[in-house]
Amino acid sequence: MSRLPTFRRLLSYVRPYAGYLVIALLCLAAYAVFSSATLYLVKPLFSYLFEGGPDAQMDVVTGSGGVLTGLREQLDRGIEALISAPTIMGTLERICILIIAATLLKAVFLYLQGTFMAVLQQGIVRRLRDDLYAQLHRLSLAYFHRHRTGHLVSRVTNDVWVIQDTLDTTLKQMVLEPLRITVYTYLLLSISWQLTLMAFVVMPLTVFVVTRLGLRLRRYSAHSQERMAEVNDVLEETITGIRVVKAFAMAPFEIRKFQSATANYFHAMVRMIRLQLLASPAGAVLGSMVGALVIWFGGRLVFVQHTLTASDFVTFLVLMFALGRPVKSLSDVHIKVQRGLAAADRVFEVLDTQPDVSDRPGALVLAGYDAEIQFDRVRFQYDTGPEVLSDINLRVERGEVLAVVGPSGGGKSTLLDLIPRFFDPTEGAVRIDGQDLRDLTMNSIRARMGIVTQDIILFNDSVFFNIAYGSEGADADRVIHAARMANAHEFIEQMPEGYQTRVGQRGVLLSGGQRQRLAIARALMKDPDILIFDEATSALDTEAELLVQEAIDRLMEHRTVFVVAHRLSTIQHADRIIVLDGGRIVEEGTHAALHAHDGLYRHLYDLQFARAEEETRTGTGV
């Protein structure tokens, strides 16, 4: 199906709020009518001032002719009936009362439309932001590897804000101003079709110039939003890595980098604002040309041809200059719409992205896990990069503990990422009890898995929330039991508010070992069939490792476990070890068998693990 234009896609978000839109449109129509009435009510005043009253005009033929003249005469008679009084001052008083009444009604309908339009505008933005956030959850990990965090945050915050600003300032105007233009145009035509025609022949030049400026502004706006995303990137990276920045005394470098990003944004915004400001004086100059021509031609109709009364001419000028306001507003709307569409293009780019990994139509729910997990001739590569895994054939029985070791960059973490379907194999298949994981729903697969990594992610919420995360309806007893099993209950009880203590962004208020134990407690809460440990203890000191390893040992009981191993203790207790090098399994066996063989595992052991074993044996580790 062909992609809908951006503007039509934005309008599709209006549908749930159609009732509010209808009421708002009716209020806008009433506002346009009473807004025009406040202007047209000056006509009888000019009539009394210049011609001595409406009766003095009957000898002047207004040249418009036809239906419009008849409708205008009926309108004039109705107004005359309302304002007619025995004295001139009495008539003037009635004119003033009508102007006040029309202004009051105009204000009431403007308020009502604003109230209903606010629900419409904010509802659209809310749905757009919700859809964008939900889409981010549907996208695969590969998408987040390809896109910087700041750019994605900018889509949800800055770009949606631009769309919101566009809707706030333009949705009303795109409806109101055409209504006002329609009413004003009718009144102008009813007074003099010749003057109106001449004004409208010249006016399109103004519209053309502003439209061209708007198209250029859309490109500049997109460029400025990209520069804003770069500012967000630097800011997000600095805040996230502030410990590293301070440790390496790189604050001056980061400040210069941020200043460079803000300078680029500054120049982009200045170019955009210059172009935006150019539209207003350009429109004003062209508008003054139109006004001068109308005054010259109208003067001929009044003073030379005598086909137009002075009061009609003055009223025409009042209406024509009043018409300039909605026309200018529409031209500004066009410019703002171009900014909004540029932001919407970026938002819809995310919404239109198809995830690399998704559930197939008719995917089955994983009912159980009884026998084995199999890697069948698996190959994998990221996009167009080199192959990361090559011809992996592996069977892991239920309840088996498999350790994966190898040089850095050998494909260890990638191998484990295929099990919860963070990625799908480029070739071959990963099967569970004979079923291809791609034929199963991702949620049902991941529901049976617990994952603990070196880089623990905790949320800026309570300890209780972080342990119960992913286990809906968890009660306090279960959470406390999981914390005890993870060797976390003791330090949690010592925290200021116990289980209700907040852990800070990404758990920064906790030590590395405490974060690991909360992550293990979180995994225990799921009671998973399959466990994945990716360097879970590599960043811990010896004391913290002992506590974490004890918790891991409890968690591993009666479960299938995959471990990317770094510490000796985990490797020695594994049922089987595979050695990955260059994306291939080059060795496989128990710790004793591999250690006895003079191969890559023995080499890695001698380099990485022999010292750790000695420190553990002698108690000299720190």
Please state which of the ranges 210-219, 245-254, 293-302, 388-397 shows the lowest mean pLDDT: 210-219
Q: Is residue 96 predicted with pLDDT exceeding 70? A: yes
pLDDT tens-digit profile of 388-408?
A: 999 999 999 998 989 998 888
Query: What pLDDT, on a 0 to 100 scale, did the predictor assign at position 61?
Result: 42
What are the start and end residues of each CATH 1.20.1560.10 domain in the chain?
A: 7-351
- Spatial contact of 503 and 466, defined as CB atoms under 8 Å apart: yes
Q: What is the DSSP string of 261-330?
A: HHHHHHHHHHHHHHHHHHHHHHHHHHHHHHHHHHHHHHHHHHHTS--S-HHHHHHHHHHHHHHHHHHHHH
Q: What count of other Cβ atoms lies within 10 Å of the Cβ of residue 339?
A: 24
Q: What is the pLDDT of residues 578-615, one digit of tens each?
A: 999 989 999 999 988 988 888 888 888 777 655 555 55
Average pLDDT in the chain: 79
CATH architecture designation of domain 456-527: 3-Layer(aba) Sandwich (3.40)
CB 121 within 8 A of CB 167: yes
Single out the residue of 400, 451, 420, 421 nearest to residue 578, CA to CA. Answer: 400
**Residue 41 pLDDT more than 50?**
yes
Q: Which of 37-51, 179-193, 394-408, 509-523 has the lowest mean pLDDT?
A: 37-51
Contacts 24+ apart (CB under 8 A), 299-308: 301/63, 301/192, 301/194, 301/195, 306/60, 307/60, 307/61, 307/62, 307/63, 308/60, 308/62, 308/63, 308/191, 308/192, 308/195
Residue 379 to residue 393: CA distance in whole angstroms: 10
Over residues 418-444, the mean pLDDT reads 92
pLDDT at 529 over 80: yes
- Matching residue, tokens 């439209």: 211
Share of the chain above pLDDT 90, in %: 14
Measure the CA–CA gap between 26 and 31, rounded to whole angstroms.
9
Cα gap 40→36, rounded to integer Å: 6
* CA separation for the pair 366, 437 (Å, rounded): 9
Distance CA 349, CA 151 (A): 12
> Distance from first CA to last CA of the chain, Å, rounded?
62
Average pLDDT on 181-207 reads 75
Tokens coding 384: 């167009």
Residue with the larger pLDDT of the pair 530 and 8: 530
> Tens digit of pLDDT for each residue in 363-379?
999 988 888 999 999 99
What mean pLDDT is predicted for residues 521-536? 83
Residues of the chain with CATH 3.40.50.300: 456-527
pTM, rounded to two decimals: 0.68
- Residue 488's pLDDT band, with cuts at 50, 70 and 90, is confident
Look up the CATH architecture of domain 7-351: Up-down Bundle (1.20)
Q: What are the pLDDT digits (tens) for 241-279?
A: 776 676 667 778 888 888 888 898 888 888 888 777 776
Query: 306 or 613, which is more confident?
Result: 306
Average pLDDT over residues 346-372: 89
Flag whether pLDDT at 436 surpasses 70: yes
